Amino acid sequence: MLRFSPIAAAVVVCVAGFSSAIALAQDRRLPVSPTELKLSYAPIVQRVQPAVVNVYAAKTVQNRNPLLDDPIFRRFFGGGGPQPEQMQRSLGSGVMVDPSGLVVTNNHVIEGADQVKVSLSDKREFEAEIVLKDSRTDLAVLRLKDTKEKFPTLDFANSDELLVGDVVLAIGNPFGVGQTVTHGIISALARTQVGITDYQFFIQTDAAINPGNSGGALVDMTGKLVGINTAIFSRSGGSQGIGFAIPANMVRVVVASAKSGGKAVKRPWLGARLQAVTPEIAETLGLKLPNGALVANVAAGSPAARAGLKLSDLIVAIDGQTVDDPNAFDYRFATRPLGGGAQVDVQRGGKTLKLTIPLETAPDTGRDEIVIKSRSPFQGAKVANISPAVAEELRLDANTEGVVVTDLADDATAASVGFQKGDVIVAVNNQKIAKTSDLEKATRESARLWRIIVVRGGQQINVTLGG
């Protein structure tokens, strides 16, 4: 299953300075003879293809009667007994990134799967376990079961060195026809309006990518992995020459977390909220161009606060790399290794300052995550207190108060009445909800009507539900 993105992107190419771009461009050249025009990609494909796999995921779902979602129907006619089950299957691709059998693919390929299988280029199939899922990047890492052999792998390229016009190959299993290779060029870099993941910083390519290519490899002419193919823009369902890949430098971070045994990706925590610079803001600040990331909020005690970052500071670079917007900063910061510090260039009061932000993870104390089991509109919802780590994970303001929904079972009452992951529960039946124990206590009390205040996407919603 390949994600579709209804956009017409237009984003500035992000490279580390004009002079470095010229230096990299000098390494490329045009064919100079008819002989060179007969050159083939076959040697690269033969070396790379064994490390690209097919991923098959399956999950069992119930064929639920939609009338059962109506509480009045259930009250008078009951649950109707066990519902027939159906197997849903999805198809994608993956890349072997460790010889022990570690495979990286897209999270949306295996999301909710009860069973995952990996098929190699030599037709062998292996059961696989899900080692790590990261919805923020739409990446997942699998491990092949019951095997001790060494598998061929792909090395990571430095995706920050890519230039528009570089030739790339896309390898995957489109439409389930079998492993397929297509070629094209890098069409654009730093695409930030794709709307697929939290980290909007995609490689765009015109190499043909179709449903089934999700999780497959985008490789350069040295056979190194430059990105994981993840989405296409399409009006027809097929390739129209606009595909998007997650840069290898982001993939590297997720794979490193999986190799270290983590169940979640460990990333640096900034502790500040950034906003884009509009033309109006640029005019107010006296800027020639609406570039950079404007600091809109700084959490007390966070790395940003300790580094001296202040409200209305304008971040224009990180470790020497230009920052055009908040998405660019988020990507650059998230791909920095933990430990040490990142140097940011900040414009403040007409002067440029250099601040060093410590690279450390967000504290996760006091999460107190629970599943609401009592009969109520919240039944089946997993909720947590809003620790800095939870706020970072769900993209909430660090000062948000309340209890947040972190997960929902598909068949949960909470999901059927419309609650979503990331919803912040502020009050229930006029009782303020400050921590998970408050919500658990409130849901133990039976009620004919449930009056609930929810904050979703920064907007307060007042909800009344029947008991």
Q: Which residues are part of the catalytic machinery?
A: 108, 138, 214
56 vs 120: CA distance, rounded Å: 11
Residues belonging to the chain: 467
Distances (CA, A) of 351 to 325, 348, 455: 19, 5, 38
38 vs 174: CA distance, rounded Å: 27
Give burial (CB, 10 Å; 0-12/13-18/19+) of 219: buried
Give burial (CB, 10 Å; 0-12/13-18/19+) of 451: middle
Give burial (CB, 10 Å; 0-12/13-18/19+) of 284: exposed
266 and 257 in contact (C-beta within 8 Å)?
A: yes
What is the residue type of 108?
Answer: H
The beta strand positions in 233-374, using DSSP E, are: 243-247, 272-276, 293-298, 314-318, 321-322, 341-348, 351-358, 370-371
217-219 and 314-318 strand pairing:
unpaired
189 and 170 in contact (C-beta within 8 Å)?
A: no
138 and 254 in contact (C-beta within 8 Å)?
A: no
Q: What is the DSSP letter of 350?
A: T
Tell me the backbone φ, ψ of residue 322, rounded to 5 degrees. Answer: -65, 140
370 vs 373: CA distance, rounded Å: 9
Q: Which helix (H) or strand (E) holds 305?
A: helix 303-307
- Return the structure tokens found at 21: 């771009």
Tell me the backbone φ, ψ of residue 70, rounded to 5 degrees. Answer: -85, 115
Q: Which helix (H) or strand (E) holds 19?
A: helix 18-25
Q: At what angle do helices 248-259 and 326-334 cross, to 10 degrees?
A: 40
